[in-house]
Every structure is written in structure tokens, then in C-alpha cells.
């Protein structure tokens, strides 16, 4: 595990599969990277081909016959225009099923902005996982909720 999940509290009483923990860890490590190939990795290795991701208010969906990279992750490139660094840290995870295929979590994100400002704040999210008991689980749904007000304000500052 890396900084994204090292200090996370996972559910007690049920065992979240190690491959699911690794998937969550890798997801946030990738989301914190501005590398040009991250969208392709997310589309091909993290999400199912019909995965749904809410990066902001509206869903992006992968569909058969269309490149998930262009449908779901094109917005990633735009995000790095204003953001210079990002660090997600998962703090606590809750399970909705004993299989570990429906997780809710509380996390924190720190962002450095290209205008020199820094923003930090909590957010919550949901992960629905396909084949959670396999060695290669993938995300069917990624959805987060957080207060974007501080980020919007910081982006307006010079």
C-alpha cells in the first residue's frame, strides 16, 4: 500500500479482499499523477468497459464500441491545467456487502494550484467493484461528494 491507503481504517468483522484494497490504492495513486498515460491505465486496468465515473457532477460512461479513455477520462487532462499537485488519502472505509463489492469511504484531498494557492478538504465516495473476490477486480462505479467551494474560491484568486 502507498500513502493513499496506509492509514485507512478498513471494516472490522469482514475481510476486504487484498486485491480490492490494492485497487483502491492504485486508483488514488493514479488520480494523483499528471502523467499523460493515466487516462488509458484507468480505462484499461481500473474500470470495467462499461464503468461509470462521477468526476464532478455528471456521470461519464464507458460503452461497448467506444473508447472508455475518451468518454470517461478526457476531463482528467483539463483538471491539470489549474492543478499542479494532488494527494488523496483514504481515511475510513465501510462495506455494504460481505463480498467487499460495494464500499463507502471518507477521504481527504490536498491540492496545489498553479496560481500558488493550496486547498485541502474532506470528501466521501462510493466504489462498486466487479469481481471483488477475483485477483483482478475492477470498478463499475466511482462516485464522490465534497464541498467544491474552497477550490472554486482558490482558483479565482491571483
Does residue 32 lie in a domain region? yes
Task: Tell me the per-residue pLDDT of 76-112, one tens digit each, with 9 for 90 and over.
Answer: 667 788 999 999 999 999 999 888 899 999 999 999 9
Does residue 91 lie in a domain region? yes
**Is pLDDT of 152 > 70?**
yes
Highest mean pLDDT among 60-64, 69-73, 106-110: 106-110
Does residue 60 lie in a domain region? yes
Does residue 135 lie in a domain region? yes
In this prediction, residue 125 has a pLDDT band, given cuts at 50, 70 and 90, of very high
Note whether 124 and 103 are within 8 A (CB).
no
| Total of domains in the chain | 1
User: From edge to edge, which strands make up the β-sheet containing 138-146?
Assistant: 60-61, 47-54, 138-146, 118-130, 102-113, 83-95
Q: Which domain holds residue 53?
A: 18-156
Does residue 6 lie in a domain region? no
d(CA 53, CA 135): 22
**Is pLDDT of 6 > 70?**
yes
Indicate which CATH number applies to the domain containing 85: 3.10.450.50
Note whether 73 and 60 are within 8 A (CB).
yes
**Is pLDDT of 64 > 80?**
no
Amino acid at each position: 500500500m502507498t500513502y493513499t491507503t496506509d492509514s485507512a481504517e478498513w471494516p472490522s468483522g469482514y475481510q476486504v479482499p487484498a486485491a480490492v484494497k490494492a485497487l483502491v490504492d492504485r486508483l488514488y495513486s493514479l488520480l494523483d499523477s499528471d502523467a499523460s498515460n493515466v487516462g488509458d491505465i484507468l480505462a484499461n486496468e481500473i474500470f470495467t468497459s462499461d464503468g461509470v465515473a462521477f468526476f464532478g457532477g455528471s456521470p461519464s460512461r464507458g460503452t461497448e464500441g467506444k473508447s472508455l479513455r475518451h468518454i470517461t477520462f478526457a476531463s482528467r487532462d483539463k483538471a491539470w491545467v489549474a492543478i499542479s499537485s494532488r494527494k488523496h488519502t483514504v481515511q475510513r472505509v465501510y462495506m455494504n456487502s460481505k463480498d467487499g463489492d460495494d464500499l463507502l469511504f471518507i477521504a481527504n484531498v490536498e491540492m496545489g494550484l498553479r496560481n500558488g494557492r493550496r486547498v485541502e478538504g474532506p470528501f466521501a465516495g462510493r466504489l462498486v467493484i466487479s469481481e471483488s473476490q477475483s485477483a483482478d477486480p475492477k470498478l463499475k462505479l466511482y462516485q464522490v461528494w465534497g464541498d467544491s467551494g474552497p477550490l472554486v474560491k482558490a482558483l479565482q484568486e491571483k
